[in-house]
Amino acid sequence: MPNHIGARKLAMAFTVWLLLFYSLFLLPVSVFAQTNGGRAVGDSLTATANSSPWLSPSGDFAFGFFSLGSNGLFLLSIWYAQIPDRTIVWYADRDNEAAVAPKGSTVNLTANSGLVLTSPQGEELWKSGTGAGVVANGVLNDTGNFVLQDSNSESLWETFNNPTDTLLPGQTLERGGTLSSRQSETNYSKGRFQLLLQGDGNLVISTINLPSNFANQPYYSTDTTSGTVAGSEGRELVFNVSGYLYVLRENGGKYNLPVGEAVSARDNYIRATLNFDGIFAQYYHPRNFTGNVSWTLRWSEPDDICQRITEDSGVGVCGYNSICTLKGDKRPTCGCPKGFSLLDPNDPYRGCKPDFIQGCEEDELSRTKDLYDVEVLTNTDWPISDYVQLKPFTAEKCNESCFQDCLCAVAIFRSETCWKKKLPLSNGRVDVSLNSQAFIKVRKDNSTLPIPAPQLPCPDDKKKKSQTTVIRAESVLLGTSIFVNFILGAALCLGFVLIFRKKHVRSAEIVLDSNLRSFSYEELQEATNGFKEELGKGAFGTVYKGILQIGSGVQVAVKKLNYVMQEIEKEFKTELNVIGQTHHKNLVRLFGYCDEGQQRLLVYELLSNGTLASYLFTDIKPSWRQRIEIAYGVARGLLYLHEECSTQIIHCDIKPQNILLDDYYTARISDFGLAKLLMMDQSKTHTAIRGTKGYVAPEWFRNMPITTKVDVYSFGVVLLEIICCRRSVDAENDCEEKAILTDWVYDCFLEGALDAIVDYEVQALGDKTTLENFVMVAIWCIQEDPSLRPNMRKVVQMLEGVVEVQVPPCPSPFSRACLKGSFVSQV
């Protein structure tokens, strides 16, 4: 019995020992299973301050949510897990905007949609997609590449094929592949710079015209095109595992980017990043380090970005009204001239604004004519802001000429030549080779001017003036009736002769005036396939889609005007004369016309993305950045019509249905059929009511003179629609207070509820300064009193931040919203 018990104890001890042995053996396997980078379908992460990311097997890279500060927003991203400053190498983006997620958002690994990011309310913020496959698992590799795999371990989607602003060793960029810079160091939405391996094999860096992908002329290029040697064009940009960057040619040759001294990829982390300031640079950081160690620059291109970005390359890196200077590390720094301050104190690259209002109207309103001092800078220039060049000149004459010119903001003198420039100033830089002087006008009192109170006539005075006018008119009519009868008889005879002659020369006159192509009705009938495909219909005609057989075929929109005798004849001539003589990137282009018998047709370019109305008023809200650019475009188009084209034009019917969007979602103003032309020496005119309900300025209904301010009013309404993505009048809205957009927005503005205006949109609230400025500009535009509305030049300057936006008064003093605001302020 004792032997049996002893054997039993021995067996138990052996079992315990064996279990301990297996536990020790299996422990590394268990740890490896947790850190091998693999994730199963159904795994998820939640955006919280202390959520744990998914790690690569070595622990070098992490995938998860990066906190964007104290605002409760997070960015789904990949970063170096071992470096304290969390250098991000990839992040999720959608429609050129970073997929920023509020606290509590989750990312799930799904079989059919891949990685799916959703808000706490269940709204889908971003998804990776899977191609045509079904996801079995996801893997974060030690290269920093997150790969979605099917059951055969084949790649369905990977971050290396969807780069943002950074390349890592082992990553390649095929033809058509891009890197896009951020907007700033802390704003991860798409910025103004793009690295692209073009279809011809050339690797270039360019500025782009947001929100489109249209690139300006490159300011850096490898020139790896076919040239004179067959097969020498670039096939792909390669960042090999040793840390070298080169363009691999079709013939197998290489174009090596000058990456400087060799750096061990084994001992260092290496990355190549297109920085937010347009510099493409390679950096390295030791893997094993102690203390405070930062990234070291290995090489960068271009050498001097301040000088390399020219007129063809777009707006300079520092934004408008600023001065670009190169630092020792070849990165640009931005500053403001005296009398100007940063648009955003936290972002010097957004540009500068004057600390005063400058303009001809403002200068005239001043009580003193001694308004400005002059600040002199050497070797500084804004080379593409000229509006006049004077020579031969002296420095003194150049300074004096600018000083006396209300349009002139800066004058540059160099080599007996004076260049006068107006705001906003573009592509400013310091260049020691210029040997120039810059004379900058700075307002002495450094202040803005108050907007004058409207001058309204007293009712009694107005009545007396009206009665006096009637009495005088009656006297004149009685005294001249006999003479008029005689003249009318002669004029009638002469009129018949002129009308008869005019019928024979009318078409020729239009050709001479407008310089447009004249189409036959048969040509346009064939181009539109018998006017079958209707694009839209309005009060004055129907628009059809057509194809002109020019080259490979040109798509056009043919507007067939309704025949209404004299009215349509007037409409037709107005549209021809107006559009035929205009040319601006924010206006629709007119190709030609048909004037045959009773047929009147206009042939426009066809814009692929339809009207602004169809773009704004849908279930899917356009991105905030795109809406901002559309607002800029409409404002600049109106500025051109009012001040910059040869004949001043009042459009009279600005609304989302008359604003079209091209391939790049650039806003283009259309339908000039209701335009009211003014001669250069005119400032106002009287005309019948025109326009569309909800966008019509109050003066149309009050028999007041009509000026360009009616378009400013309509633009203000459209701007609110762009901000809010809703119609100006919503009769079906359950909440009566929200039915009229202008009243509701002013209510929200008074209460400081900007978040309600944009329906708590994350992107817009992340750009709250712009949002507030846009709302205030819109309220200035919809002032009931036309004299309080800014002109379109001032509107553009306020939108772009060139001029500070003051807090607007109540737009309609006797409306319910304004009376409510007055009551609140009294309380």
The arithmetic mean of pLDDT across residues 703-723, rounded, is 90
What are the percentages of helix, strand and coil residues in the chain, rounded to 5? Answer: 30, 25, 45
CA distance 313 to 90: 27
Phi and psi at 384, nearest 5°, equal: -120, 25
Q: Is 560 annotated as a binding residue?
A: yes
pLDDT exceeds cutoff 70 at 817: no
State the pLDDT at residue 172: 96
Strand pairing report for 517-518 and 590-596:
parallel
State the pLDDT at residue 605: 86
Peptide bond preceding 302 in cis form (omega within 30 of 0) = yes
555-601 pLDDT, tens digit per residue, is: 899 988 775 444 556 666 666 766 677 778 888 888 888 888 888 88
The arithmetic mean of pLDDT across residues 313-322, rounded, is 85
CA distance 277 to 31: 42
164-217 pLDDT, tens digit per residue, is: 999 999 999 999 999 999 988 888 988 999 999 999 999 999 998 776 777 888
State the pLDDT at residue 409: 92
CA distance 655 to 669: 9
State the pLDDT at residue 69: 79
State the pLDDT at residue 663: 80
- List, in sequence order, every beta strand (DSSP E) within 611-712: 648-650, 659-661, 667-669, 676-678
Average pLDDT of the chain? Answer: 80
Least confident of 320-324, 455-459, 668-672, 684-688: 455-459
DSSP bridge partners of 443:
372
Bigger pLDDT: 311 or 409? 409
Q: Which residues are annotated as catalytic?
A: 653
Give the pLDDT band of residue 402 (cuts 50, 70, 90).
Answer: very high
State the pLDDT at residue 649: 82
Name which of 170, 210, 165, 200 is nearest 185 in CA terms.
165
Highest mean pLDDT among 355-369, 468-482, 663-677, 720-734: 720-734
Is 587 within 8 Å of 669 (Cβ atoms)? yes
Query: If 0-12 CB within 10 Å is exposed, 13-18 middle and 19+ buried, where does residue 175 land?
Result: middle
pLDDT exceeds cutoff 70 at 702: yes
pLDDT exceeds cutoff 50 at 736: yes
Give the pLDDT band of residue 476 (cuts 50, 70, 90).
Answer: very low
What domains, with CATH codes, occur in the chain? 28-162 (2.90.10.10), 164-302 (2.90.10.10), 311-443 (3.50.4.10), 513-605 (3.30.200.20), 612-826 (1.10.510.10)
Query: If 0-12 CB within 10 Å is exposed, 13-18 middle and 19+ buried, where does residue 108 land?
Result: middle
Element (H, E) at 613: helix 612-616
For a pLDDT cut of 70, what percent of the chain falls above it?
77
pLDDT exceeds cutoff 80 at 387: yes
State the pLDDT at residue 731: 64
Give the pLDDT band of residue 798 (cuts 50, 70, 90).
Answer: very high
State the pLDDT at residue 760: 86
The arithmetic mean of pLDDT across residues 791-815, rounded, is 87
Bigger pLDDT: 493 or 39? 39
Residue 626 to residues 193, 210, 211, 662, Cα–Cα distance (Å): 16, 8, 5, 13
422-434 pLDDT, tens digit per residue, is: 888 988 998 888 8
Highest mean pLDDT among 77-81, 126-130, 186-190, 226-230: 77-81
Phi and psi at 14, nearest 5°, equal: -65, -40
